[in-house]
Chain A
Amino acid sequence: MGREVSESCIDALITEMVSSYCNRFYVNKPEVSARRIEAIGYQVGIQLSERYTVERPRFSEHLEAIKFICKEFWSELFKKQIDNLKTNHKGTFVLQDNRFQWLTHMSINASAETTDSSQQEPHSPNSTTLDANLLQATSMHLYFPCGIIRGALSNLGIPCAVSADASNLPACSFVIRIKA
């Protein structure tokens, strides 16, 4: 289907995009950078869903469209499908990916690490603050995929709101709320 780009390039581009918006364009204004990054994702999602639904008929119901996102759309983007889909049948869907590709390489700097061979204790008192830092850092990187999902769904005729939760790296879950 034409030209290809290496995956590392895309990973690096997305990393740099988040870093530029957070650290250079809108320093100290995380909400503005988050909105901008999500808007970029929205555009990308619209275009990608156009491309990937070229030969398909229209989706008869919301669940079909969500299943398309979980299977074909996700495999085109990340070469794997969503691992778990939950719904409350009232317009809320939770998509869980047990190994979200753009978060696999993320790991924080441990604050005071000795250079000896001693392993870190699993329940040190610092673990909660480290987790909080990690959460904050990863949340910025989740706006782009949320935007992609929102753009894809709205192009299929389903306006919605998407949020993400990555408390269990590298697993990540996306919550889609369809506006009734």
Chain B
Amino acid sequence: MQFFGGTSEVTLSPSVPSSIGTGPLGSNAYMLYLFNRNGVCLLYKEWHRPLKTLDSNQDQKLMFGLLFSLKSFTAKMDPTRVEKGNLGVPLLPGEGCSFHCFRTNTYKLSFMESPSGIKIILVTHPKSKDHRENLRYIYNLYVGNVVKNPLYVPGTAIKCELFNTSLDQYIQTSI
């Protein structure tokens, strides 16, 4: 696994067109998870996942645990930090040290955590570009369609139609 810290990654391969994935819709995105502060999985979407090793509950718990540990690990191993940072607490973007993606030879996992503890994970084709802006856009979709929706109960799984349709549209066109 390659870990990418705060600096921009250097890729030697030429820039890829936006849609080279092998998913059924031709998009790059394979899976998407959305967790809240307490580890409840608010949203799980998959577009291309032929291999399923665990049942969904365990899979989500594993993902949440992994990210929590990875964040703590990257913060502890930060060689540039002078004072001890706050571990386990969601940070403002740009503050502290938080990883944002890792890549294997078969997939790339991009991660974003908002200051309110909402974690967005996007698993895509390994040669796709940096997804930080995409994750930020997805977070804004979440705020606009879910948080501001009077009929949504916070802390429960997201089933809002508006959110789902706009998310699907965005994923298919821009990732």
Does B5 sit within 8 A of A, measured CB to CB? no
26 residue pairs of the A-B complex, CB under 8 angstroms, read A8-B148, A11-B148, A105-B144, A105-B150, A105-B162, A106-B150, A107-B145, A107-B151, A107-B163, A108-B151, A108-B160, A108-B161, A109-B160, A109-B161, A110-B159, A110-B160, A110-B161, A113-B164, A115-B44, A115-B45, A115-B46, A117-B24, A117-B168, A137-B150, A137-B151, A141-B150
Does A180 sit within 8 A of B, measured CB to CB? no
Interface residues of B (CB under 8 A from A): 24-25, 44-47, 56, 144-145, 148-152, 159-164, 168
Query: Per DSSP, are chain B's interface residues mostly helix, strand or loop, or mixed?
Result: mixed
Closest to B144 in A: A105
Interface residues of A (CB under 8 A from B): 8, 11-12, 15, 18-19, 105-111, 113, 115-117, 119-120, 137, 141
Q: Within 8 Å CB of A11, what residues of B?
A: 148
Closest to A112 in B: B159
Beyond A115-B46, A117-B25, A117-B45, is A107–B162 a contact (Cβ under 8 Å)?
yes
Interface centre among B45, B162, B168 (most CB of A within 10 A): B162
Closest to B153 in A: A109
Closest Cβ of chain A to B34, distance in Å, is 12
Query: Per DSSP, are chain A's interface residues mostly helix, strand or loop, or mixed?
Result: loop
Q: Please state if A15 and B46 are interface contacts (CB–CB under 8 Å).
A: no
Q: Within 8 Å CB of A137, what residues of B?
A: 150-151
Closest Cβ of chain B to A166, distance in Å, is 13
User: CA separation between A164 and B168, bound complex, in Å?
Assistant: 32
User: CA separation between A116 and B25, bound complex, in Å?
Assistant: 12
Q: Within 8 Å CB of B164, what residues of A?
A: 110, 113
Closest Cβ of chain A to B136, distance in Å, is 17
Q: Please state if B160 and A12 are interface contacts (CB–CB under 8 Å).
A: no
User: CA separation between A11 and B163, bound complex, in Å?
Assistant: 18
User: CA separation between A15 and B153, bound complex, in Å?
Assistant: 12
Closest Cβ of chain A to B148, distance in Å, is 4
User: CA separation between A8 and B45, bound complex, in Å?
Assistant: 28
Q: Within 8 Å CB of B161, what residues of A?
A: 107-110, 120
Closest Cβ of chain B to A73, distance in Å, is 24
User: CA separation between A157 and B89, bound complex, in Å?
Assistant: 56
Closest 9 CB pairs of A and B: A107-B162, A109-B159, A105-B148, A15-B150, A107-B160, A117-B47, A107-B161, A105-B149, A110-B159
Closest to B23 in A: A117
Closest Cβ of chain B to A20, distance in Å, is 12
Additional 15 contacts, C-beta under 8 A, given A107-B161, A109-B151, A117-B46: A18-B150, A105-B148, A105-B162, A106-B150, A106-B162, A107-B145, A107-B163, A108-B160, A110-B159, A110-B160, A110-B164, A113-B159, A116-B46, A117-B25, A117-B47
User: CA separation between A108 and B145, bound complex, in Å?
Assistant: 11
Closest Cβ of chain B to A63, distance in Å, is 34
User: CA separation between A12 and B154, bound complex, in Å?
Assistant: 13
Q: Please state if B150 and A119 are interface contacts (CB–CB under 8 Å).
A: no
Closest to A102 in B: B150
Pick from B44, B45, B145: contact of A105, CB under 8 Å: B145
Beyond A113-B159, A117-B25, A119-B168, is A106–B151 a contact (Cβ under 8 Å)?
yes
